[in-house]
Structure 1
Amino acid sequence: MQHANYLPATELLAQFRTGTLDPADYLETLIEAAHRQQETVNCAASLHLDAARAMALEARRRYAEGTARPLEGVPVIIKEETSVKGWPRPLASLVYRDKIATENHPIVDKLLEAGAIPYFQASNPEFCVLGHTWSKLYGVTGNPWATAYSCGGSSGGSGAALAAGVAPLATGSDMAGSIRLPASLCGVYGYKPPFGRLACAPGDEYMTQAVEGPMTRTFDDLVLMQNVLGGPHPNSYTTLPFTPLPTEYGDLKGMRIAYSPAFGHPALADDIRSNMMAALDGLRERGAVIEEVTLNWDLEEINNVLLEGLRALFVDEFMRDIPRAEAHKLNSYTADLYEKAGGPRASIMPSAALGQRLQREMQDKVWGKGYSAFICASMLTTDLAANQDPVAEPMLDINGHQIDAYLGWCLTPPFNLLNRYPVMAVPTGLSELGVPTGMQIVANAYDDETVFRVGANHARAGTSKLFIERFPTMGPAA
């Protein structure tokens, strides 16, 4: 079977039910892919095969007995940051290389309860504070479409693993674009739900800029996974009630959608823009009325304010817990944050004020004008080295513009300030470098279904062809 390891979860479940595919046999197919990709892509933090094989045999038994659960026998990629009891959880750091998770993250519990098989732990950058995926502990994770280029971060290992065909579903987390950046760069779907839609880890209740979310290769799998992950968990007191998303969506006839390619930023790469415009034409063919709006947002201000808020809520306190004697083990990008943590106290208040300002402008120019959704690109360029170091090289040249190398190329942070907005990253094609491009579909606060309706129509329009006609090579760019 051509591309057997790229079957969607929805197709796997159908074949498991009819008996045309065996969960235990299929797991072995993916394990082979998992070992194979490590030679070039390097997105595995660890593999957990004995337990997975036992779960696959349990899935076989359940299908035979007619007691299969919603994700019975489907292998899943777990971001290293996402706790699985008994698995390593060093956060890609030599400082914590011996740390073992003592309990499951709530979304892991939900996956296990649904019959999924977590077996592949995906790499992330140290402390998940970089838009690429490399560390002293795990090395450099490349992009399966073109390994010299970035797979994004911090859920880059999850995005790369999906693109490498090691499983159809993956977990990610997003506090400045960490789901949406790797989803776009790896050609997959990623969903940043509004805060409260998924249960957070105990202790993260005030980290409203950061959420967990699903990543998949197909839209239908994204619906499937989100419906499993959504809703309350006994260990979380901030989770909202959840009504499962529809699995079928009508067209977009009469829906008004606003777009701003890059919030007025002049450095947007031509190939990202052209792929996005083709995707918008696909939505027009599905009935949408799409119009450009002017949002001249100061992305440097947005990025700086978001980072200050993250420092105030999480990063500075975390860094202060690292003994000075251990600081030499840190990567350049975390060592930089370590030094900043010893300076003036950061504040969350600028984030709250700027988020309110952005919401007022969205209300004035988008939601209040009758638009149901908003679309923009995910990033300014795909010309990003897999091992890009924003400390060693603090500026990037993008289309003749000097851009901050840390977050300046990202178009995702505004929606971490507007953290009640649901946002889906969807693939739009390949750049001239052979790296996938993507765009973000946004709706107003807690309007998840609108985002999924637009995402469904984007998928049905079929403009990207990724994982349909085009598949990764696992090697350098052609």
Structure 2
Amino acid sequence: MISLRLENCMQDTTYLSATDLLTRFRDGSLDPVDYFEVLAVAAERQQATINCAAGLFLEQGRNMAHESRRRYAEGTARPLEGVPVIIKEETSVKGWPCPQASLVFKDNVAVENHPIVDKLLNAGAIPFFQATNPEFCVLGHTWSKMYGVTRNPWAQAYSVGGSSGGSGAALAAGVAPLATGSDMAGSIRLPASLCGVYGYKPPSGRLPCAPGSEYMTQAVVGPMTRSFDDLVLMQNALGGPHPTSFTTLPYTELPTEYGDLSGMRIAYSPAFGHPALARDIERNLLQALDGLRQRGAIVEEVALRWDLDEINMVLLDGLRAMYADEFMTDISDADAEKLCSYTAHMRQQASEDQPSIMPSAVLGQKLHRDMQEKVWSKGYTAFICASMLTTDLAADQDPVAQPFLELGGHKVDANLGWCLTPAFNLLNRYPVLAAPTGLSELGVPTGMQIVANAYDDETVFRVASNHARAGTSRLFVDQFPVLG
């Protein structure tokens, strides 16, 4: 039984941003312990419908919230003091299970924190919610034999994307204002777009990676949040070196305030010339571009014609060579029975061929030269495109059982053929920020990718700041999911 006081508090505070939370914690108008109890209720309630929790660590969170209360009283609060945070299951928290959503590894427990977890803890944040991901994080949706199907809070029949789908869903369900994600082929940007939140794929080396992942330059960790200001806040908390990471670049904090876009030239290509882009996604994208024009930008379409099938195949081969095949071939035939269809299919591929990372490097260079010729050398500072071709994706879509999708009369590969994200994992030094653009006709959020040239992080944040100020998307402003 929930008290009326707590119910009223839930209505008032569930969707507060971390930025607003910190202000209220500091001025004493909201207590970290009371707020944590609000989110504990939200975390438990969503599981019956959304199913985005791999684990709940409420007592640990309560203890940390009491510590935050003490620090505010003593004047020793840290930058994220008392802010609850969602942690993707793949991202290790010492003492938490880390099976990678696989029954094969169901007994695995993390023996140390991922570097970004250490950074969150050092900043005073409260990890308490472990979010679902697909098995081994190799699917663009979020379902597994271990956790079942994670559903979209905006429209529960539809996909939250993957592999950071649990993080996106938990943000949309009001579980916490901040979440971690990781991105090998769009795994931050796809869920961010489908759940109506912000997500950042930083350039390789910008944030510390897990020990052993240093050479997987296509894959990065990054922040996911409901508001733009929170994305800046979280990215700044995660930046900088960590003792276990030798590849992290020096970090200069991002500004928290940005001017308008007067004089900035922005190029766009809705879907790299792909004919299957849904009209509602394109409509929302064009409205967002009009908002940027109102903020002073010069926005012009450019003719990029990229072979998405080739990009997807080359990226997947590279990821298999660097990541998946290493342990897929070590799984016994007995354990293979426990695998999901999509990982069993990958295991079968691993036994039949030998993928290489070299085509990824070659194609990445080709794509960069095309961007250089048509975008960067022409005076454009940023580039924008949609995040995906469609939102009509079932929550439990299985690309093994249904290898192709029909999109507007065009047949595309069901695995990654609907995604517009993988090119920027080949161009892995490019910063890419996913921002919400509105709702599709199905009631599922849509999103866009804001891209800049290598290591020009500040530009994508400047554009995203102006997008947020333009207000063409009303998601989590005056439009919210109805969870039921």
Q: TM-score, normalised by structure 2?
A: 0.98
In structure 2, C-alpha distance between the alignment counterparts of 1:41 and 1:52, rounded to whole Å: 21
Post-superposition shift, 1:3? Answer: 4.7
* Residue 11 of structure 2 corresponds to residue 16 of structure 1: no
| Match for residue 116 of structure 1 among 125, 129, 132 | 125
In structure 1, C-alpha distance between the alignment counterparts of 2:330 and 2:434, rounded to whole Å: 34
Post-superposition shift, 1:324? Answer: 1.6
| Match for residue 162 of structure 2 among 153, 156, 159 | 153
Residue 33 of structure 2: SS of its match in structure 1?
helix
* Residue 318 of structure 2 corresponds to residue 309 of structure 1: yes
Consecutive aligned runs of 4 or more in structure 1 exceeding 2 Å deviation: none
Q: Counterpart in 2 of 1:432? A: 441
In structure 2, C-alpha distance between the alignment counterparts of 1:158 and 1:466, rounded to whole Å: 17
Q: Counterpart in 1 of 2:5? A: none
Post-superposition shift, 1:474? Answer: 2.1
Q: Counterpart in 2 of 1:465? A: 474
Post-superposition shift, 1:473? Answer: 1.1
In structure 2, C-alpha distance between the alignment counterparts of 1:382 and 1:345, rounded to whole Å: 34
| Match for residue 329 of structure 2 among 317, 320, 334 | 320
Post-superposition CA distance 1:214-235 (Å, at most 9, x none) = 0000000000000000111000
Post-superposition CA distance 1:117-138 (Å, at most 9, x none) = 0000000000000000000000
| Match for residue 458 of structure 2 among 412, 431, 449 | 449
Tell me: CA distance 1:3–1:125, structure 2 relative to 1, closer, same or farther (3 Å).
farther
Q: Counterpart in 2 of 1:38? A: 47
Post-superposition CA distance 1:108-159 (Å, at most 9, x none) = 0000000000000000000000000000000000000001100000000000
Q: Counterpart in 2 of 1:47? A: 56
Q: Counterpart in 2 of 1:128? A: 137
In structure 2, C-alpha distance between the alignment counterparts of 1:252 and 1:161, rounded to whole Å: 32
In structure 1, C-alpha distance between the alignment counterparts of 2:424 and 2:226, rounded to whole Å: 22
Post-superposition CA distance 1:320-357 (Å, at most 9, x none) = 12112100000000000010111221100000000000
Q: Counterpart in 1 of 2:269? A: 260
In structure 2, C-alpha distance between the alignment counterparts of 1:405 and 1:344, rounded to whole Å: 21
* Residue 292 of structure 2 corresponds to residue 283 of structure 1: yes
- 5+ residue gaps, structure 1, are none
Post-superposition CA distance 1:44-81 (Å, at most 9, x none) = 00000111101000000000000000000000000000
Q: Counterpart in 2 of 1:351? A: 360
| Match for residue 224 of structure 2 among 202, 205, 215 | 215
Between 192-201 and 337-346, the greater mean CA deviation after superposition? 337-346
Q: Counterpart in 2 of 1:293? A: 302
Residue 247 of structure 1: SS of its match in structure 2?
coil
In structure 2, C-alpha distance between the alignment counterparts of 1:402 and 1:153, rounded to whole Å: 21
Which amino acid in the other structure matches residue 272 of structure 1?
I
Q: Counterpart in 1 of 2:412? A: 403
Residue 428 of structure 1: SS of its match in structure 2?
strand
Residue 128 of structure 2: SS of its match in structure 1?
strand
* Residue 211 of structure 2 corresponds to residue 202 of structure 1: yes
Residue 32 of structure 1: SS of its match in structure 2?
helix
Q: Counterpart in 1 of 2:180? A: 171
Post-superposition CA distance 1:202-255 (Å, at most 9, x none) = 000000000000000000000000000011100000000000000000000000
In structure 1, C-alpha distance between the alignment counterparts of 2:363 and 2:327, rounded to whole Å: 25
Cα RMSD between the aligned structures? 0.6
Q: Counterpart in 2 of 1:139? A: 148
Identical residues among aligned pairs (%) = 77
In structure 2, C-alpha distance between the alignment counterparts of 1:323 and 1:140, rounded to whole Å: 26
Which amino acid in the other structure matches residue 242 of structure 1?
Y
Q: Counterpart in 1 of 2:75? A: 66
Which amino acid in the other structure matches residue 118 of structure 1?
P
Post-superposition CA distance 1:446-465 (Å, at most 9, x none) = 00000000000000001110
In structure 2, C-alpha distance between the alignment counterparts of 1:359 and 1:458, rounded to whole Å: 25
| Match for residue 38 of structure 2 among 22, 26, 29 | 29
Which amino acid in the other structure matches residue 346 of structure 2?
L
Q: Counterpart in 1 of 2:238? A: 229
Between 337-346 and 204-213, the greater mean CA deviation after superposition? 337-346
Which amino acid in the other structure matches residue 356 of structure 1?
Q
In structure 2, C-alpha distance between the alignment counterparts of 1:3 and 1:24, rounded to whole Å: 15
In structure 2, C-alpha distance between the alignment counterparts of 1:7 and 1:442, rounded to whole Å: 28
Post-superposition CA distance 1:427-463 (Å, at most 9, x none) = 0000000000000000000000000000000000011
In structure 2, C-alpha distance between the alignment counterparts of 1:391 and 1:283, rounded to whole Å: 40
Q: TM-score, normalised by structure 1?
A: 0.99
Between 464-473 and 180-189, the greater mean CA deviation after superposition? 464-473
In structure 2, C-alpha distance between the alignment counterparts of 1:323 and 1:82, rounded to whole Å: 25
Residue 7 of structure 1: SS of its match in structure 2?
coil
| Match for residue 371 of structure 2 among 362, 366, 370 | 362
In structure 2, C-alpha distance between the alignment counterparts of 1:414 and 1:387, rounded to whole Å: 25
In structure 2, C-alpha distance between the alignment counterparts of 1:3 and 1:103, rounded to whole Å: 36
Q: Counterpart in 2 of 1:330? A: 339
In structure 2, C-alpha distance between the alignment counterparts of 1:259 and 1:5, rounded to whole Å: 35
Q: How many residue pairs align between the two structures?
A: 475
| Match for residue 349 of structure 2 among 340, 343, 350 | 340
Matches within 5 A, 1:375-394: 375-394=384-403
Post-superposition CA distance 1:344-400 (Å, at most 9, x none) = 211000000000000000000000000000000000000000000000000001111
In structure 1, C-alpha distance between the alignment counterparts of 2:296 and 2:327, rounded to whole Å: 48
Residue 411 of structure 2: SS of its match in structure 1?
strand
In structure 2, C-alpha distance between the alignment counterparts of 1:433 and 1:3, rounded to whole Å: 28
